[in-house]
Amino acid sequence: MSTRVDRTAGVVGTGLTKRYRGTVAVDGVDLEVSGGVVGLLGPNGAGKSTVLRMAATVLAPDSGSLSLLGLDPSHHDERVEIRRRLGYLPQDPGLYPGFTPFDLVDYVAVLKELTDPGRRRDEVRRVLEEVDLADVMHKKIRKLSGGMRQRVALAAAMVGRPDLLVLDEPASGLDPEQRLRLRSLLSAAPTVLMSTHDTSEVAALCHRVVVLLAGMVVFDGTPGDLAELARGRVWEDDRQDPDAFRSWQTAEGAWRHLGEPPPAAGLVDPTLDDGYLLLARGTHR
């Protein structure tokens, strides 16, 4: 097999399975991502981070086949080649508190084999400017806010203009303005696979969403398709409906219900939340 990266190949996984001490974390996942921003959506423990760790070459699947950027990550040389063209943001990126953002991203660039000091310095400045950290690039990380630290880690993932970005909850800790900035950053990347448990992030960032429940893919489509799953099963009323499988009060004070609507119910347009909640409760048939 050639060790040349295919920039457009993205992630192709078939039957990916991973167990931890007998517990199945990921169960026969098929995933194909080539271009655009694809969101993995699911509750805590659904297996999102495990799938991302496999897609980032950090974890090997117990079974199934995986191809990244057209290469096989189970072979050492090909894995190194993939890693040269891959950016990874883990869910809990530990940082060195005594480093500055510049130092940290520079170190990541060194490990990513950007050997020319001048070009490396330019690249580090570029990514830090892209995540809006130019003003604090020489301030100690321990003095930065949580959102800024998240952006430092994001900048580290983006060093070298990777062809494949694997991001575990990238918008965590970001304010609305930074989320908007993230949106434009991600739209410029060739292929992005990201996880979230926030449907508003999916709506804002992703052109495609894959819902994982208990380690299995239960939905794969556009955010609009996910919302449409709940069409005809969402209604609003001025009081709680005990027969609805899920009811909650909206900011306007009305009660919103999910489930089998009673006759003459005031059906409303479904949202992404509605479609996801229906899937998550296993009531969608």
> Is 1 or 111 the residue whose CB approaches another protein more closely?
111
8 Å CB contact between 151 and 132: yes
Q: How far is the CB of 97 from another protein (least distance, A)?
A: 8
User: Which of 250, 202, 282, 248 minimizes the C-alpha distance to 258?
Assistant: 248
The residue to which tokens 């799938």 are assigned: 51
Question: Which of 3, 17, 45, 107 touches another protein by CB under 8 A?
Answer: 107
The verdict on 122 binding another protein (CB under 8 A) reads no
- The residues in 28-67 that bind another protein, with binding defined as CB under 8 A, are 53, 56-60
Contacting residues for 228 by C-beta, under 8 A, at least 6 apart: 270, 275
8 Å CB contact between 7 and 68: no
- The residues in 228-257 that bind another protein, with binding defined as CB under 8 A, are none
Q: Record the tokens describing residue 172, joined without a space.
A: 């965590």
**CA 161, 148, 195, 184: dihedral to nearest 10 degrees?**
-50
Question: Which of 16, 38, 40, 112 touches another protein by CB under 8 A?
Answer: 112
Q: How far is the CB of 66 from another protein (least distance, A)?
A: 13
Distances in Å between the Cα of 209 and the Cα atoms of 31, 73, 140, 148, 271 are 11, 24, 37, 27, 14
The verdict on 90 binding another protein (CB under 8 A) reads yes
Q: Please identify, among the stretches 72-80, 175-183, 209-217, 229-237, the one whose residues bind another protein according to the rule CB under 8 A.
A: 72-80
Positions in the binding site for another protein (CB under 8 A): 53, 56-60, 76, 79-81, 83-84, 86-90, 92-96, 98-99, 103-104, 106-108, 110-113, 115, 117, 120, 153, 156, 166
